[in-house]
Amino acid sequence: MANRYSGFGLFRHALRYHENWQRAWRNPTPKTHYDVIIIGGGGHGLATAYYLASQHGITNIAVLEKGYLGGGNTGRNTTIVRSNYLWDESGQLYEHAMKLWEGLSEELNYNVMFSQRGVLNLGHTLQDMRNIERRVQSNRLNGIDSHVVTPDEIKKIVPIINIDNLRYPIMGSSWQPRAGVARHDAVAWGYARAADALGVDLLQETAVTGMRIEGGTIRGVETNRGFIGADRVGCVVAGNSGVLAGMAGLRLPLESHPLQAFVSEPLKPVLDTVVMSNHVHGYVNQSDKGDLVIGAGIDGYNGYGQRGSMPVIEHTAAAICEMFPMFRRVRMNRQWGGIVDTCPDACPIISKTPVDGLYFNCGWGTGGFKATPGSGHVFASTIANDSPHPLAAPFALDRFYSGALIDEHGAAGVAH
């Protein structure tokens, strides 16, 4: 039974020198068989397990993670959360996630530090501004808070930004006030703790090495800890999705690319919103502990290394310095990469597969953190009912046969 976290509990633990905190989750021995196995202990996999247990009453579940929980893209991203996508299908999916974000800390009894500090997506050309206006109108039709703001209004929101003195002056921006950031590790840990409390087995250092499929139906998975049987298997492994699909004899329309980010030394508060520019290509926010969190475009080559190349860092730093000249003297502390799974239409795949009982949730590419609660919620429903959740249906694999692609390259925020 998980203890509830509260201010009073914190005080009580302080009196005992914080020596008796309960472990956040168990370290169970794998069972021989589960009703559902989720492969991938990132935010999406953990959220899927949590909603399967909390919404659908399926608790005989294991999450299999080859490393540690949240050690993939979930713990490596720049934490931007927004829902201002262009097309109805994606706008509605990301807005579904946004509504879940708004109550997530209370629901999980875990502070995920969701901070609705607003996101600006800057426009630097007339065509940028046309696209921004179109997207803002589309957002409004979907009930998503979205505005076009002028350079003067941008300067009021972010006084330190350089509006005019750039190669591509800032001509305006979209502005979503309900957007913001959340603490990425806390999202994984919060879902993990809540899922564990509902009986889900979280198996770390458990790598899936093969899939057992008999007569077109999944029977379980081979792992470094032996075979584990399952009636249904959900695969949520981001950049490794192509590898896992290969184990089931499937080919997915995905490419795996490195995507980098870096953080600076901590500064006093200077930036209380998120600024993104597709055109000069860099995005930045300031974390609660003061670091500038800076994101870039993908490295152009395919790869599975969780690092990236120097030219991307150089290009991004140049873009950030151009928009924020005062950051020129800031020192960078750390840099890293994740492996993102990009789809031809920059949209996810949430789908049944030709193998009975095998499901894939992937293709979130450079922008899946913001979708974590919504993705887990609709994927859990898809697995539990063996039928797509209405919000997930447009993102099924059959769109690559029908041609009904949902082109979100313009709203993706990171060039692919």
Assign 324 to helix, strand or coil: coil
Write the interaction track for ligand FAD spanning residues 1-40; mark x where CB under 6 A is met and - where it is not: --------------------------------------xx
Question: Can you state the angle between helices 43-56 and 372-385, rounded to 10 degrees?
Answer: 50
Distance CA 293, CA 181 (A): 11
Would you list the DSSP string of 43-103?
Answer: HHHHHHHHHHHHHH----EEEE-SSSTTTTGGGTS--EE----SSHHHHHHHHHHHHHHHT
Q: Binding to ligand FAD by residue 297, rule CB under 6 A?
A: no
Report the helix count and the strand count for the chain, using DSSP H and E: 11, 18
Write out the binding residues for ligand FAD, residues 160-189 only, by CB under 6 A. Answer: none
Segment 44-63, which members bind ligand FAD (CB under 6 A)?
A: 44-45
Report in angstroms how near the CB of residue 340 gets to ligand FAD at its nearest: 5
Q: Which residues contact 98 (CB under 8 A, 6 or more apart)?
A: 81, 82, 83, 144, 178, 179, 370, 374
Distance of alpha carbon 14 from alpha carbon 252, whole angstroms:
51
Residues 209-248 that bind ligand FAD (CB under 6 A): 236-238, 240, 244
Shortest distance, position 216 Cβ to ligand FAD, whole Å = 22
Q: If you compute the radius of gyration of the chain from its CA atoms, what whole number of angstroms results?
A: 21
Residues 191-210 touching ligand FAD, rule: CB under 6 A, are 207-208
Q: Is 41 in the site for ligand FAD (CB under 6 A)?
A: yes
If one asks whether residue 74 binds ligand FAD (CB under 6 A), the answer comes out as yes
The least distance separating ligand FAD from the CB of residue 114, rounded to whole angstroms, comes to 13
Q: Which helix (H) or strand (E) holds 196?
A: helix 184-197
Q: What is the DSSP string of 271-304?
A: --SEEEETTTTEEEEE-TTS-EEEEEEEPSS---
Query: Is 78 near ligand FAD (CB under 6 A)?
Result: yes
Q: What track of x and - describes contact with ligand FAD for positions 308 through 347 (by CB under 6 A)?
A: ------------------------------x-x-------
Tell me which of 36, 58, 72, 197 binds ligand FAD, using CB under 6 A. Answer: 72
| Whole-number Å distance between alpha carbons of 260 and 313 | 8
Question: Which of 54/285 has CB closer to ligand FAD?
Answer: 285
Does 295 engage in binding with ligand FAD (CB under 6 A)? yes
Residue choice 327, 360, 369, 395 for contact with ligand FAD (CB under 6 A): 369
* Residue 345, helix vs strand vs coil: coil
- Interface residues with ligand FAD (CB under 6 A)? 39-45, 64-67, 71-74, 76-80, 207-208, 236-238, 240, 244, 259-261, 295, 338, 340, 364, 366-370
